[in-house]
Amino acid sequence: MPVAPINTTPADNPLLRTDLSTPHQTPPFSELHIEHFAPALDELMAQAQAEVERIAAQSEAPSFDNTLRALEESTLQLDQCTALLFNLNECNTNTDLQQLTETYAPLLERFELSTFTNEQLFERVHQLHDHAATDLDEEQQRLLHKYYSRFERSGIGLRGEERQEFIANAEELAALSQQFNRNVLNDTNAFTLHITDEAALSGLPTDARTTAADEARKRGLDGWLLTLDFPCYNAVLTYADNRPLREQMWRAYNSRGNHPGQHNNDTIAKRIAHLRQQQATLLGRETYVHYVLENRMATTPMQLSDFYTRLLAAAMPAARRELQCIEAFAQADGLSTPLQRWDFAYYAERHKQQHFHFDTEELRPYFQLDKVREGIFTLYRERYGMHFTPAPDIELYHPDASAYEVMCDGRFLGVLYLDMHPRASKRGGAWMTEFRMQYHDGEHDVRPFIQVVCNFTKPTADHDALLSFGEVETFMHEMGHAVHGLLSQVRYPSLSCTNVERDFVEMPSQLMENWCTEPSFLQTFACHYKNGSPLPTDLIDKIIESRNYLAGWYFVRQLSLGLIDLAFHTAPPADDISCATFEQQHTMELLPMVEGCCTSTSFTHIFAGGYAAGYYSYKWAEVLEADLFEHIKAQGLDNKECAHHFRDKVLSRGGSRPAADLFRDFMGRDPDPDALLRRCGLTSEQQHDA
């Protein structure tokens, strides 16, 4: 995105135009300059504020159309401009964009709170809520409930200094989350390790070495350059024989945001947690966890506690046995000191290879990115009738990205943007988001613009990008989110796409990961990048045979992250306690803690990503999808009627109905809590047999 100063007026600011000539009104990225954003945001906030005040002050009695529908429409253009700003800041940022985002995040928060603390406006919503209305259909009732809740949760009941404190806290939180994210990205980019002796890279797969050599060459260096981009980091931790190298990389990755200097997140994380607790207290909630769970499937801390107790009781014995097994293997292999965190992945992989006679790197030549993508597209075509067609006329925000038009039964569903590889301007991880939500404007079904961003292994000079099996699973996961958004068929943007309960939103994405261990799916696309030979059946058998390897260990690891999240949002640490110390007090980790390292200072999910007091959602949703997949598989993976039933009853409904109702509508019953344990081999009967 250009940053040179330009002169712009509302007439030529593309962010203010509603008559874009681009395909499907997609963003004209080539015309966007960073200088367009501030005037556009100022103008659009002013317009939206005026519209909100008009809605609040109108003399007509409140109705759904003149109040709720009008409110939904009042911020449509502002929301799209904001989505552009924040999404670009995550996937194609620079210093100017980071500063702009940190400036406008609190201003946008202030605008939202001014809407949801407007007394006149709330009175209208209150009247609708009190008399609702036999004349409102289910989706309208759902939207009414959501708005009423937003007013209450935004401090409409507060007065005087308490309301001002609530607003000031919210603005500070908005700015701090952006700063937290920036610090993690900057710390990730700040670390490089230049290697000139190839012997130091012993054990590292050829592709990882090639990528490191390419990285060094790009920077004018000989040898190899290691970075904290996840494909590089993960390859070193899993395969490098050089233990000091593994330790150096592990410490660098796990100390991001946790050292003195301008990128320090220790104070920021604690401040965020305290501000959230203050917000909950001001609203009369015991803790921030209580506040968050009011709009979740898990509605109370007690229900969540029971959930954790049940899963930990099942997984912890298995995790301890697995750790003992890896420790014994490492000792037999010559490790003379206690197993450390930078050792576990390395010895676990070697033990897996010995036990299953299988190296997951054997799979990589069969997972060429283009073929994986086409396999996923084919799966969705066969299940839901979706067609993904390259759209070269749709503008992109970066040369690494690509765009696709998505159709279903001759109907345009939306645009999908894919952005697959790491770069310095992109934060780590993988995610799905929207540049535009789906909704109905009264005349037209406005279709969404969905973005999937990943950080997969890069192509090399010798071949296209070859993915690890874990990256294939990640691609499937994020495409599950994307299709959830693309299939949305509701009327109001606040209920569309993935605007569902946070502990339900991961269900469609985690559900799709199951296909990665299904031979019928793998055989449709997995072939060797050199000669086109299909993925051998013995390797498919190994994938299936090893899928529950260390299931207890990884189960406990995920639950442990959730416990850290809940600890920060139940009783935040005192100012004189470091995040690392606080983490040690609340973790379930089974390996020794490491001085100077912790997860919390780079835990963007909870401090910058919307999962605060909700990281448990991954496991909660996994219980749901394990039950669903068990049912779907019993019906037959090629059963079109079952697939279309799921598409129409769940995926297309967005948040227009409570998640529990969507589940019951498809399954005909409540979730079976043992389905996940059965899949992972962690029921008491399975562990006894093992």
| 104 and 74, same domain (yes or no) | yes
| 128 and 117, same domain (yes or no) | yes
pLDDT confidence band for 688 (50 / 70 / 90): low
| Strands 445-446, 386-390: pairing kind | unpaired
| 201 and 319, same domain (yes or no) | no
Q: Is the pLDDT of residue 1 over 70?
A: no
**Helix count (H) and strand count (E) of the chain?**
28, 9
Give the CATH number, domain containing residue 495.
Answer: 1.10.1370.40
| 570 and 603, same domain (yes or no) | yes
The answer to the question of residue 373 being in a domain is yes
The answer to the question of residue 1 being in a domain is no
467 in Cβ contact with 364 (< 8 Å): yes
Sequence-distant (≥ 6) Cβ neighbours of residue 529 within 8 angstroms:
365, 366, 368, 371, 463, 464, 466
Mean pLDDT in residue range 432-445? 95
Nearest one of 608, 644, 267, 227 to 421, comparing CA atoms: 227
Looking at residue 92, what is its pLDDT? 97
Nearest one of 486, 413, 393, 27 to 403, comparing CA atoms: 393
Looking at residue 201, what is its pLDDT? 98
Mean pLDDT in residue range 72-78? 97
| 47 and 177, same domain (yes or no) | yes
Mean pLDDT in residue range 507-532? 97
Q: Which helix (H) or strand (E) holds 166?
A: helix 160-190
291 in Cβ contact with 627 (< 8 Å): no
The answer to the question of residue 402 being in a domain is yes
How many structural domains does the chain have?
Answer: 4
Q: Is the pLDDT of residue 543 over 70?
A: yes
Q: What order of strands is seen across the sheet that includes strand 411-419?
A: 386-390, 401-408, 411-419, 449-453, 431-436
| 273 and 354, same domain (yes or no) | yes
| 209 and 309, same domain (yes or no) | no
Nearest one of 213, 197, 198, 218 to 462, comparing CA atoms: 213
Count the Cβ atoms, other than its own, within 10 Å of residue 311. 24
pLDDT confidence band for 605 (50 / 70 / 90): very high
Round to whole Å and give the CA distance between 602 and 181: 8
Burial label, 312 (beta-carbon count in 10 A; 0-12, 13-18, 19+): middle
pLDDT confidence band for 260 (50 / 70 / 90): confident
Mean pLDDT in residue range 648-661? 97
The answer to the question of residue 224 being in a domain is yes
Q: Is the pLDDT of residue 461 over 90?
A: no
Tokens (6 digits) for 421:
């590889």
From residue 198, give the alpha-carbon distance in Å to each of 210, 235, 236: 12, 15, 13
Sequence-distant (≥ 6) Cβ neighbours of residue 605 within 8 angstroms:
565, 611, 615
Round to whole Å and give the CA distance between 675 and 650: 19
| 167 and 201, same domain (yes or no) | no
Q: Is the pLDDT of residue 133 over 70?
A: no
| 611 and 624, same domain (yes or no) | no
**Amino acid at residue number 228:** L
Tokens 């003399």, located at residue: 59
Burial label, 388 (beta-carbon count in 10 A; 0-12, 13-18, 19+): buried
The answer to the question of residue 259 being in a domain is no
Round to whole Å and give the CA distance between 79 and 48: 10
28 in Cβ contact with 20 (< 8 Å): yes
Round to whole Å and give the CA distance between 10 and 183: 34
Looking at residue 6, what is its pLDDT? 44
Count the Cβ atoms, other than its own, within 10 Å of residue 58. 14
Round to whole Å and give the CA distance between 210 and 226: 11
User: Hey, which residues are catalytic here?
Assistant: 478
| 484 and 535, same domain (yes or no) | yes
Tokens (6 digits) for 395:
């503008």
Nearest one of 481, 478, 468 to 543, comparing CA atoms: 468
Give the CATH number, domain containing residue 312.
Answer: 1.10.1370.10
Burial label, 422 (beta-carbon count in 10 A; 0-12, 13-18, 19+): buried
Question: What's the first-to-final CA gap in the chain, in angstroms?
Answer: 56
The answer to the question of residue 69 being in a domain is yes
Domain containing 406 equals 365-545+618-689
pLDDT confidence band for 690 (50 / 70 / 90): low
Round to whole Å and give the CA distance between 663 and 148: 24
Q: Is 223 helix (H, G, I), strand (E, B) or coil?
A: coil
Mean pLDDT in residue range 10-25? 90
> pLDDT tens digits for 330-359?
999 999 999 999 999 999 999 999 999 999
Give the domain-ending residue among 137, 153, 183: 183
Q: Is the pLDDT of residue 2 over 50?
A: no
| 312 and 369, same domain (yes or no) | no
Burial label, 654 (beta-carbon count in 10 A; 0-12, 13-18, 19+): buried
Round to whole Å and give the CA distance between 329 and 553: 16
For the whole model, what pTM was predicted?
0.95
Sequence-distant (≥ 6) Cβ neighbours of residue 193 within 8 angstroms:
225, 226, 227, 245, 248, 249, 252
The DSSP line for 252-302 is HHTTTT-SSSTT--HHHHHHHHHHHHHHHHHTT-SSHHHHHHTTSSS-SHH
The answer to the question of residue 582 being in a domain is yes
Phi/psi at 466 (5° precision) = -115, 125
Give the domain-ending residue among 183, 214, 238: 183
| 204 and 164, same domain (yes or no) | no
627 in Cβ contact with 510 (< 8 Å): no
The answer to the question of residue 4 being in a domain is no
Round to whole Å and give the CA distance between 235 and 455: 14
Q: How many CA atoms are closer than 13 Å to the CA of 132, on its beta-carbon side?
A: 19
Burial label, 209 (beta-carbon count in 10 A; 0-12, 13-18, 19+): middle
